Amino acid sequence: MKLNPFEKKLVQHPLRFWLQNHVEAPLLTSMMPKPMPSCERALEIGCGFGNGIQLIREHFGAGHITAVDIDAEMVAAAQSRWQARPQGVKGLSFSVADATLLPFANSEFDIVFDFAVFHHIPDWQAAIKEVVRVLKPNGYFVVEDLYRAAICNPLSRRLFEHPQQNRFNHSELLTVMRQAGFEIVRDRNAFNLAGMVLAQKVLR
């Protein structure tokens, strides 16, 4: 499901990027094994206006980042934003893609990122299976997302447009990830409103 106009304005706000860069990214990287594993090829699902690309580069050291979003407007905006920067789009690829049907080969990426995107996806279970498919063996899935209690309430429904059926809480997310083939390395749960997960694709 695409963002509504209000949420598009919200995710573009400088305060949102400040929080991502100075609060969320350090929390996510603190969950990673030390030393940081090699991250040559990264995939960001739901790139929005491109904020996550800088976080992945600066905090995870990705060599090449593929950024996708279901909204062509968002992909164009992210690509334009990075083309305007001195380093341009070197090491970046952009495409319109559905998270439940990713246009990539099996075992293509070292790491996949979800920065508060899966709560927008009606069939989020299918999206998790796709992440498993495109990850290399032992690859990592970095998740930061919102849960049922945060989006299925009168205030959220008034301001945003989120799917209201088939939503998840922290334990439900972890269960589906384990069933799909992930080992949960670290996780954080903020009162079942939001959470972070570092998961690794298990060799089978």
Task: Determine the Cα angle at 13 with ends 98 and 198, to 5°.
Answer: 50
Residue 161's φ and ψ, nearest 5 degrees, are -120, 100
CA dihedral 87, 92, 94, 99 (to 10 degrees): -140
Q: What is the pLDDT along the chain (204 residues), one digit of tens a residue?
A: 677 776 777 777 777 778 888 888 889 999 999 888 888 999 999 999 898 998 999 899 899 999 999 999 999 999 999 998 877 678 999 999 999 999 999 999 999 999 999 999 999 999 999 999 999 999 999 999 999 999 999 998 888 888 899 999 999 999 999 999 999 999 999 999 999 999 999 876
Contact 150, 157 (CB under 8 A): no
| 92-96, strands of its sheet edge to edge | 92-96, 64-69, 41-45, 109-115, 135-146, 194-201, 182-190
Tokens matching residue 96: 């319109």
CATH topology of domain 5-15+39-201: Rossmann fold (3.40.50)
DSSP-derived pairing of the beta strands 64-69 and 41-45: parallel
pLDDT at 17: 79
Q: Could you state, in order of their start, the residue ranges of all structural domains in the chain? A: 5-15+39-201
Q: So what's the pLDDT on residue 18?
A: 84
pLDDT of residue 89: 79
| Angle made by CA atoms 67, 127, 148, in degrees to the nearest 5 | 105
Output the pLDDT for position 1.
66
- The DSSP letter of residue 175 is H
Residue 56 confidence (pLDDT):
93
Cα 165 from Cα 104, distance rounded (Å) = 28
